[in-house]
Amino acid sequence: MKSRSSLIAFFAAAAAALCLATAPAASADGPKPVKVMTWNLFYGFDDGPVIAAAMSGNEAAIAEAATVAWGQIHATNFHRRVRDIALRVRLEAPDLIGVQEAVRYTQMGSAGIVETLDHLEILVAALREVGIPYEVVSSVDTLAIDLPVLDAGGNLTMVSIQDRVAVLARSSHAKVAVSNPQSDIYQVILGPDVGFPFPLPQGWASVDVNASGHRFRFVTTHLEDASADPAVLPIQEAQAVELVNRHAADGLPVVFAGDFNTDGFRKWPTYKLLTGQLRLTDAWKAVNHNAPGLTWGQSPDLLNPFPRLTQRLDLVLFSGRFDVTDADVVGATLLDRVPAGMWPSDHAGVVVTLVP
């Protein structure tokens, strides 16, 4: 005969099984978590000297600074460091990725194209190579400029820079379907009319997302950098207002992920605008509260031996009802520096899991 305690355990287990069997089917069909990532891929050079030379208007100085920058681009070798980014993406397996500074370089000599380095194309190929294919589902061309560069023989060539912001989605992904790709350049940009030597457009790219029947919009962006010149702050704030108002007008919940160039840790003015007047929620703070979550500050050569992140510029913000279950900074530990012998980017990535 079974003991009394065994009988109690039996009936308790049976009751639990019955409750599970009769639970409402809606729980299985309820909202599913969606994981998003943002990562600034980094131009690969220190743009300060190039901008300073351009401001001077001295053609020889521009060529000298641009030639040094072209050397830095090769030294920071995106072909080498992209594998670290791809392996991190494989580990995290985000449904959607927003990338910034997804630049394409084309060097032209007297006989035609000398070299092309397309960071977006290289990234997509690296993701496929590590076994987690993604597709570019929305993108926007932003900065476009030609710079004079001397080749190894001292001959003058031109390097065309085409910056881009892009959204990537998992290929053949049943859980998340995307549609309605949109993109645009901000109306207010840094340029000659405010004393900058050339137009510096910034922009955004988006897709509408259907995640197990729950619809929202995913937007990635790169706002203008106002850290070095307070006079640029009104431009950055105007871009933030345009971004939020443009997507709020369509009535969908929105997830904004990108390099906002405003520090969410120290709460710089544009961050306060986004999370205050514009009423966006910061996904990082929703689960990590006052933890720093720093994402920018590796040296331009990417060779600093230890992390030196100082600002939280890379943000995931949202409007509408989302539950945030996790938010992490990735690509910022010493282990991330080991495979390529350099940091994957001067920015860390941010990965957030939300339930719409």
What pLDDT was estimated at residue 28?
A: 54
> Which three-class secondary structure state does DSSP give residue 100?
strand
Pairing verdict, β 281-282 and 314-319 = antiparallel
Q: Does domain 31-355 have CATH number 3.40.50.620?
A: no
What pLDDT was estimated at residue 15?
A: 40
Query: What is the full per-residue pLDDT of the chain (356 aa) written as tens digits?
Result: 434 343 333 334 444 443 333 333 333 567 889 999 999 999 999 999 999 999 999 999 999 999 999 999 999 999 999 999 999 999 999 999 999 999 999 999 999 999 999 999 999 999 999 999 999 999 999 999 999 999 999 999 999 999 999 999 998 777 899 999 999 999 999 999 888 999 999 999 999 999 989 999 999 999 999 998 999 999 999 999 999 999 999 999 999 999 999 999 999 999 999 999 999 999 999 999 999 999 999 999 999 999 999 999 999 999 999 999 999 999 999 999 988 999 999 999 999 999 99
- Whether the CB-CB separation of 223 and 268 falls below 8 Å is answered with no
Of 153, 135, 207, 159, the residue nearest 63 (C-alpha): 159
The CA-to-CA distance between both ends of the chain, in Å, stands at: 52
The string of DSSP codes covering 144-188 is: EEEEEEE-TTS-EEEEEEEEEEEEEEETT-SSEEEEEEEEEE-SS
What pLDDT was estimated at residue 14?
A: 40
What pLDDT was estimated at residue 29?
A: 62
Residue 188 to residue 235: CA distance in whole angstroms: 6
- The tokens for 177 are 């379907």
Domain ranges of the chain: 31-355
Q: What is the largest CA-CA distance in the chain?
A: 98
- The tokens for 113 are 């194209």
What pLDDT was estimated at residue 228?
A: 87
Q: Tally Cβ neighbours within 10 Å of residue 17.
A: 10
Residue 189 to residue 222: CA distance in whole angstroms: 12
